[in-house]
Amino acid sequence: MGETITFIIFAAVAIAGAATMLMARNPVYSAVGLLSTMFAIAILYILLDAHLVAVVQVIIYAGAVMTLFLFVIMLIGVDRPGAYGERPLSQRIMTGVVAVGFFAALALAGRQAWVTGSSAFGAPDLNGTIETVADELFGTWTIVFLATVILLTIAALGTIALAYFDQDAEEEGAS
Amino acid sequence: MTVTVTWYLLLGAALFSMGVAGVMIRRNALIMFMSIELMLNSVNLTFVAISKDLGLIEGQVAALFVMVIAAAEVTIGLAIIVAIFRKKASANVDELAELKG
């Protein structure tokens, strides 16, 4: 019973946060809405016994990604009216129709699963601790893990290159 | 009434649809980017829910990999947005029409 109540509360928080992100005119409110969605999802992970993923979710998303977003929002500036224009009403209605249709399609596609059973969770003894996840991550998926290391290095280098070459172009334009 | 995997999948589908709507409805590049993050998060939620349902740890490993990809993507994407902002002084995607013939 407690699990059901927790799920309902935090699913509602996640939906409300996503709606805030969609609707807010000020990008900072959007960021805060997404942040609350991410915290709610982290709590749902704990409900699913995925403790490591929950902690990583808070550290990576709430800690690193959203902080980066807020930095960029502050860098770009939030207090310039007119820069963040809204779509016309017809486009917004069409978007709503498409989004609802997309949700209906996803629900229909998953209908087979929720009609034919899955009464409760099949294997409730799975516990996503650091040990169980690390056994899998550094056992079966070591090569993939090393590939992500290369990927992150390339991403960092790409960011530096973007900033560097941009500066070069500006200097050429000034001279 | 117990929570089944279906509830999590429907929540994931709802969050993903909201992310889709966000990419289509907003003009601010940053908020479109946040919508993409929301979509990645909702897929992670379905991964972890399925992992719990099937009793396989692979779903959680996949969720961790998605988080790594998301982190790399955010780094590059925000760098591009800042670089564009320095040239155009705008984060509005409708003003980016350089490739228009």
CATH of the domain at A37: 1.20.120.1200
Q: Nearest to residue B33, comparing CAs of B67, B76, B85?
A: B76
pLDDT reading at A12 higher than 90: yes
Same domain, residue pair A157 and A84? no
Nearest to A120 among B2, B61, B82 (CB): B2
B28 strand-pairing partners: B92
Helix, strand, or coil here: B91?
coil
Residue A174 tokens, joined: 């000034």
d(CA B29, CA A97): 22
pLDDT at A175: 45
User: Is B63–A53 a contact, with Cβ atoms under 8 angstroms apart?
Assistant: yes
Same domain, residue pair A77 and A146? no
Q: Work out how many domains chain A is built from and give that number.
A: 2
d(CA A74, CA A27): 10
Distances (CA, A) of B53 to A20, B11, B45: 30, 15, 12
Instruction: Among A81, A101, A116, give the residue marking a domain's end.
Output: A116
Q: Is residue A62 part of a domain?
A: yes
pLDDT reading at A96 higher than 70: yes
Which ranges constitute the DSSP H helices of A2-77? 2-23, 27-47, 51-56, 66-76
Residue ranges covered by each domain of chain B: 5-90
User: How many Cβ pairs within 8 Å bridge chains A and B?
Assistant: 240
Helix, strand, or coil here: B92?
strand
Q: Which fold has domain B5-90?
A: Helix Hairpins (1.10.287)
Question: What are the chain A neighbours of B15 within 8 Å (beta carbons)?
Answer: 14-15, 18, 37
Question: What are the chain A neighbours of B6 within 8 Å (beta carbons)?
Answer: 110, 113-114, 118
Reported confidence tier of residue B29, pLDDT bands at 50, 70, 90: confident
Interval A55-95: pLDDT, tens: 999 998 888 899 999 988 888 866 555 444 566 778 888 88
Interval A128-155: pLDDT, tens: 788 888 888 898 899 999 999 999 999 9
Average pLDDT over chain A, rounded to whole?
82
Reported confidence tier of residue A124, pLDDT bands at 50, 70, 90: low
Give the mean model confidence (pLDDT) for residues B19-41: 90
| pTM over the 0.95 mark | no
- Structural domain boundaries enclosing A68: 2-116
Average pLDDT over chain B, rounded to whole?
87
Residue B56 CA, distance from chain mean position: 24
d(CA A70, CA A88): 27
Question: What are the chain A neighbours of B17 within 8 Å (beta carbons)?
Answer: 99-100, 102-103, 106
**Higher pLDDT pick, B81 / A39:** A39
